[in-house]
Amino acid sequence: MTIETMNLSKYYGPVRGIVDINLRVEEGEVYGLIGPNGAGKTTLIRTLLGLIRPTRGGATLFGQPIPWGGGELYRGVGYLPTDVRLYPDMTGKELLDYAASFHQPIDPTWRKALQERLQFDPSRRIRSYSHGNRKKLGIIQALLHRPRLLILDEPTTGLDPLVRLELFSVLQEQNRQGVTILFSTHVLEEVDRLCQRVGFIRQGSLVRVSSVHELPGRHMRILTVKLAGGKPPDKSLAQLGHPRAIEGQPGYYRLAVDAPANHITAQLHQVDLEYFEIVNPSIEELFLEIYRGKGEGVQGNA
């Protein structure tokens, strides 16, 4: 077991961070933590890294209790925070040299390969880097020492699509070599692409764990329609999902559809559409649909 938490909880005074999280990440697994902003993903990750002390419960990394105050255990960990903030007066090269100095020896060809694959120029000062370049630097320093465990907090935010694809490719290669990956995201597509298992975090609790093949709402799309003449939805449309009128937009309806694409198009052929839009659901919409479908109460912004 690479990561195991036992009723891990963190409160900031009266404010909830995470509550009784029991997480198990197997060796060699890619585990996605998915949840809306403020759900507790970052708190969980920071607690695993010893940056935050849990209020109760415990956790282990590689079978050893997490050392409060840092230590050798983190030699096997690579970490990328959501917002990469590094020493602004250092150049990218100096920062990577500094990171490497904690993990000697480092394979220089691997470092160079990472820089090339992520199209990163290490010669400039960190203060001059864009958000995306700082993210690339953070990714390279996290991967530099070939860690056994990668903990990535929203790794793709700020990256352009090509670099994002390259990052996925690097992560998949690493995983094939046995590296365990825990990463948080609020983009369902990323989970679908990379993970073997997914944990859903909502309001500080791990509410559901499933394999990516059993991912609820995996094929879900959000459909916005307006029928010709502003007519109300008919039976064909109702077969796709439950249409809800959009407030302030007369004649417009929204429905969450969890069905294969050909089924959606077949049903839409039977209705006279004036307007039509189909998009991937946001994580908030996904959670809303999952809980609405299960008949559970939905609170807060989920």
Residue 123 makes contact with other proteins by CB under 8 A: no
Between residue 71 and residue 90, which ones bind other proteins under the rule CB under 8 A? 71-75, 77, 79, 81, 83, 85-90
Q: How far is the CB of 147 from other proteins (least distance, A)?
A: 10
Q: Of 222, 241, 284, 288, which Cα lies nearest the Cα of 34?
A: 284
Report strand pairing: 180-185 vs 149-153: parallel
Q: How far is the CB of 111 from other proteins (least distance, A)?
A: 16
Q: Rounded to an integer, what distance in angstroms lies between the CA atom of residue 12 and that of residue 292? A: 30
The nearer residue to other proteins, 180 or 267, going by C-beta atoms, is 180
Q: Of 171, 86, 160, 167, which Cα lies nearest the Cα of 128?
A: 86
CB count, 10 Å around CB of 54? Answer: 24
Residue 53 makes contact with other proteins by CB under 8 A: yes
The nearer residue to other proteins, 105 or 248, going by C-beta atoms, is 105
Among 32, 35, 36, 50, binds other proteins (CB under 8 A): 50
Q: How far is the CB of 30 from other proteins (least distance, A)?
A: 20
Q: Rounded to an integer, what distance in angstroms lies between the CA atom of residue 73 and that of residue 89? A: 29
Size of the site for other proteins (CB under 8 A): 33
CB count, 10 Å around CB of 130? Answer: 9
Q: Rounded to an integer, what distance in angstroms lies between the CA atom of residue 155 and that of residue 137? A: 11
Among 9, 91, 133, 141, binds other proteins (CB under 8 A): 141
Q: How far is the CB of 128 from other proteins (least distance, A)?
A: 15
Q: Is the dihedral of CA 41, 43, 45, 47 positive or negative?
A: negative
CB count, 10 Å around CB of 235? Answer: 9
Q: How far is the CB of 204 from other proteins (least distance, A)?
A: 15
Between residue 93 and residue 112, which ones bind other proteins under the rule CB under 8 A? 94, 98-99, 101-103
Using CB under 8 A as the criterion, which residues of the chain lie in contact with other proteins when the complex forms?
Answer: 12, 46, 49-53, 67-75, 77, 79, 81, 83, 85-90, 94, 98-99, 101-103, 141
